[in-house]
Amino acid sequence: MGMGKISSKSIEAQEAIAELVGLDASGFSNQSVDFGSSNVPSMQAGQALSNQLMHDVSKIVSCVLTQANKFPELANAIEERDVADAQRWS
């Protein structure tokens, strides 16, 4: 996905988020790492860290998708404003 400007073209906004829409990390928060009955402190710490990271990644992906889904709506509003502005100059 390349860098680009926010455009008032709703099609371009939809294309910009198309790669993100297919992401689904919601299952990460329900998964966990289990190293068995290890009593090695660093293994226990690694297990806890891995489980927390999976939960956090799930939350981050959800937040990014929520924000990304706002772009087409924003582009539509800007496009409508641009059309109205153009008509005033005609």
Q: How far apart are CA 66 and CA 63, in angstroms?
A: 5
Say which residue, 65 or 15, is predicted with more confidence: 65
Mean pLDDT, residues 50-77 taken together:
84
Token output for 72: 């087409």
Per-residue pLDDT reduced to its tens digit, 2-52: 555 555 566 776 776 776 666 666 666 678 888 888 889 999 999 999 989
CA 12 centroid distance within chain = 17
The predicted pLDDT at position 5 comes to: 55
Q: What is the pLDDT of residue 8?
A: 58
H/E element, 58:
helix 41-68
Vertex 64, ends 58 and 65: CA angle to 5°? Answer: 90
| Per-residue confidence band for 70, with pLDDT thresholds at 50, 70 and 90 | confident
